[in-house]
Structure 1
Amino acid sequence: MQGLFPEVSRLTAMGRLMDATALIQQTLGGGLTTPAGVVPPFEQARVIEGCFERVDPPKPRAAQRTAGPVSESASSTTTPGHDDLRFIDGSFSCMAGTRSYKLYIPSGHHQQMLPMIVMLHGCTQSPDDFAAGTRMNAIAESMPCIVLYPAQSSQANHTRCWNWFKHADQQRDQGEPAIIAGMTREVIQRYPVDTRRVYVAGLSAGGAMAMVMGATYPDLYAAVGVHSGIPYGMATDLPSALAAMQRGPGSTGSASVRRPAHSTLPMIVFHGDRDTTVHPANGIHAIKQAKPGGAGQAGSAAIKGRTSEWRGQVKGGHRFTVTTHHDEAGTSVAEHWLVHGAGHAWSGGSGAGSYTDPRGPDASQEMVRFFLAHPASQ
């Protein structure tokens, strides 16, 4: 008994509550019992850094079959010819709240360390919808890499927008950033993830929240992808959020935009120049935040380094302009893709999902390319 409690404390601190419970039961000779038909709570969840996490086991394949043809949206979340049970459901909870998620595990790996991309959907979307529209699972299968899709709840926001504009959801270890970061860490612990190649991307409100995650957790993510999103610190309430969305930087009434206290991460930004939901100027300002040494003020001076530009056109689709910013060493630190004629939609996406524009350059492919070229330095 003298050695019991230190060992229980050690296991608890490690999050191994099931092991701690079993040790107590074994030491007491089975004195701790559970009523018939009741599952012990520690068999349903584990504590991870103060947060409870649960992963639902995949259902038997036969149970997932339905009468009639499979919908285009459902089939597009998997890679043809592969087991769809790799797109699994999970749930994560902590003091800040609870969110469900979907996780794609590629088949083409043999326990090697894989990159991971955290994909944050836009308003009214779901992980399945977002996976279908971006086709990120198919890319993850070919790379290979792991893809995590956190899901916003209608209880947290009735249109399932991430609350990027709320002060409490713009802070490290608070609100939705704490939930998304905790979820990310848990997947890293559970699966063979290369911690130097963990990235976060999103669309619209998800893009704005991706900027928040990059600003508040630069030690967790290596680079950020923003599609039709809002720069970090542009708003702290709904009125200022709407002003930023409609008119862009400088419309919130503040003289400057709050900038992260640390150096920002490498960033790739996509935005349509006909976007009437989120003003295209937001994409330009997001790039300014990504520039090393840049100020948080709108219209800040250009960084010391080279800027290059090239233009192209998708065959039968949109024209686009790509502006690449390099640091003093010549390394690219930011890319801005302005898609001409595109609105508020994921560029190059599939019609199987919502808010996509198949006529644009492939944002999913370009983001993955950019990400893999920017591993974390530590």
Structure 2
Amino acid sequence: MSRRSYTALWTKAFKRSMSAATRSSVAVGKQVVKRAIQDVVERSQPPAGEGDWLAGMALGLKGARRFRLYRPPGVKAGERLPLLVMLHGCGQDARSFAVSTRMNRVAARERFLVLYPEQDRLANAQGCWNWFDTDGGRAYGEAALIMNAVDQACLLYPVDPARIAIAGLSAGASMAALLVTRHPERFKAVVMHSGIPPGTAHSGMSALGAMRGRRATLPLAATPLSMATTWPPLMVIHGGTDTMVSASNGRAAVQVWADAADAQAGPSRTVQRGKRYPMTVTDFKRKGNLVATLVEIGSLGHAWSGGAAGQPFSDAKGPDASRMVWAFAAKQFRG
């Protein structure tokens, strides 16, 4: 075969190969674009159920953060409702957290507003709140943005400012607790689900050690008097088989709250509802007043207890954490 013939055959084969590769790349690209569009459309859709799913934006010195607010149906003119702030974990956003926890259903039944601040992926690629970065200042900047979202909700929607509680999962739980240390007078209750207490990490590297339960927690900057008059009671929910955030962090969180208030642990009690995982509940009180509650769920991993089946970071077999969160907050509102 002559060199010219060989070159012609090679060129033809190369063109066929490139053409097939181009078609394959285009097909893959179309699938990627299709999935991206589906994700955007899905995220823009409200979770199933009655009520309003409202969008907003909080601005601050550290940028901006989107938020969603759930308003139950049938709010009357002049009516003021409690507000529950819900902070999602890593790999989640406002909508997925609402779907996973099904908190909107509880809010529709019990009549309260739910605020879902949302972390920006440009601030953290995994969607985690940067609760740990106190040295770099990102933690405090994001806490301020979340408070701006709370203030905006109070201004624009029928919020009773005397009845505000905050809860979070994982990084959201850690950010919720940090936020309360900076603004304890703004909240009546705080719930940490699978999180790390404030004063345990100050950077990304120390956060890894804290997640494994290898760091001590610093005392809170509070006195028994301020804890009794200003600071909200804490509930901690943590799984015993959590391999991402050691369960020792849950015990450390209630202990640091109890130590600051000079509170003592009462007898633990085991509770099981139906076929759900059993839980061990321990209350910490000072002079009869509740300071902190620890809910330990031995069979639960790193997931929202009692959440929607089939959702990431959600375990439908656990006791209903959303109902526990609201029951705990409602009790503090009445008190």
Shorter-chain TM-score bucket reads 0.7 to 0.9
Q: Structure 1 residues 140, 270: closer, same or farther in 2, change over 3 A?
A: same
What's the CA shift for 1:351?
2.1
Q: Which amino acid aligns with 1:141?
A: A
Match of 1:260 in 2: 221
Secondary structure in structure 2 of the residue aligned to 1:247: coil
C-alpha separation in 2, matches of 1:187 and 1:74: 20
Match of 2:112 in 1: 145
TM-score when scaled to structure 1? 0.71
Matched, 1:323 2:276: no
Matched, 1:78 2:48: yes
What's the CA shift for 1:168?
5.4
What's the CA shift for 1:171?
8.8
What's the CA shift for 1:78?
3.0
C-alpha separation in 2, matches of 1:204 and 1:170: 20
What's the CA shift for 1:233?
1.2
Matched, 1:116 2:86: no
C-alpha separation in 2, matches of 1:102 and 1:147: 8
TM-score when scaled to structure 2? 0.80
Matched, 1:178 2:144: yes
C-alpha separation in 1, matches of 2:46 and 2:275: 23
Q: Is the 8 A contact 1:108 1:144 kept in 2?
A: no
C-alpha separation in 2, matches of 1:360 and 1:293: 31
Q: Structure 1 residues 248, 349: closer, same or farther in 2, change over 3 A?
A: farther
C-alpha separation in 1, matches of 2:251 and 2:215: 9
Q: Is the 8 A contact 2:219 2:256 kept in 1?
A: no
Match of 1:270 in 2: 237
Match of 1:369 in 2: 327
Q: 2:125 aligns with which of 158, 164, 188?
A: 158
How far does the alpha carbon of each residue in 1:29-65 deviate from its partner, in whole angstroms, 9 at most, with x for none? xxxxxxxxxxxxxxxxxxxxxxxxxxxxxxxxxxxxx
- Written as runs of structure 1 = structure 2, the 5 A alignment for 1:14-93 is 77-79=47-49, 82=50, 86-93=52-59
Q: Structure 1 residues 168, 87: closer, same or farther in 2, change over 3 A?
A: farther
Q: Which amino acid aligns with 1:222?
A: K
Q: Structure 1 residues 352, 135: closer, same or farther in 2, change over 3 A?
A: farther
- Written as runs of structure 1 = structure 2, the 5 A alignment for 1:83-232 is 86-110=52-76, 111-167=78-134, 174-232=140-198
Q: 1:308 aligns with which of 262, 267, 289?
A: 267
Secondary structure in structure 1 of the residue aligned to 2:190: strand
What's the CA shift for 1:293?
3.2
Secondary structure in structure 2 of the residue aligned to 1:373: helix
Secondary structure in structure 1 of the residue aligned to 2:260: coil
Aligned residues: 290
Once the two structures are overlaid, the 10-residue window that deviates more, 282-291 or 349-358, is 349-358
What's the CA shift for 1:260?
3.0
C-alpha separation in 2, matches of 1:169 and 1:336: 31
Matched, 1:293 2:263: no
C-alpha separation in 2, matches of 1:170 and 1:202: 21
C-alpha separation in 2, matches of 1:168 and 1:143: 40
Q: 1:284 aligns with which of 238, 243, 251?
A: 251
C-alpha separation in 1, matches of 2:63 and 2:311: 27
C-alpha separation in 1, matches of 2:250 and 2:46: 29
C-alpha separation in 1, matches of 2:174 and 2:306: 20
Once the two structures are overlaid, the 10-residue window that deviates more, 185-194 or 271-280, is 185-194
How far does the alpha carbon of each residue in 1:259-299 deviate from its partner, in whole angstroms, 9 at most, with x for none? 234534201110000000000000001101222635xxxxx
Q: Structure 1 residues 194, 375: closer, same or farther in 2, change over 3 A?
A: same
Q: Which amino acid aligns with 1:143?
A: E
Q: Structure 1 residues 308, 249: closer, same or farther in 2, change over 3 A?
A: farther
Which runs of 5 or more structure 1 residues have no equivalent in the other structure? 1-66, 251-255, 295-302
Match of 1:10 in 2: none
What's the CA shift for 1:371?
0.5
How far does the alpha carbon of each residue in 1:169-216 deviate from its partner, in whole angstroms, 9 at most, with x for none? 7799x4001100011011011112111110111000000001101111
Q: Which amino acid aligns with 1:327?
A: R
Q: Which amino acid aligns with 2:143?
A: P
Which has the greater radius of gyration?
2
How many percent identity over aligned positions? 35
Q: Is the 8 A contact 1:78 1:137 kept in 2?
A: no
What's the CA shift for 1:344?
0.2
Match of 2:33 in 1: none
What's the CA shift for 1:306?
5.7
Match of 2:5 in 1: none
What's the CA shift for 1:95?
1.3
Q: Is the 8 A contact 1:78 1:138 kept in 2?
A: no
C-alpha separation in 1, matches of 2:62 and 2:201: 21
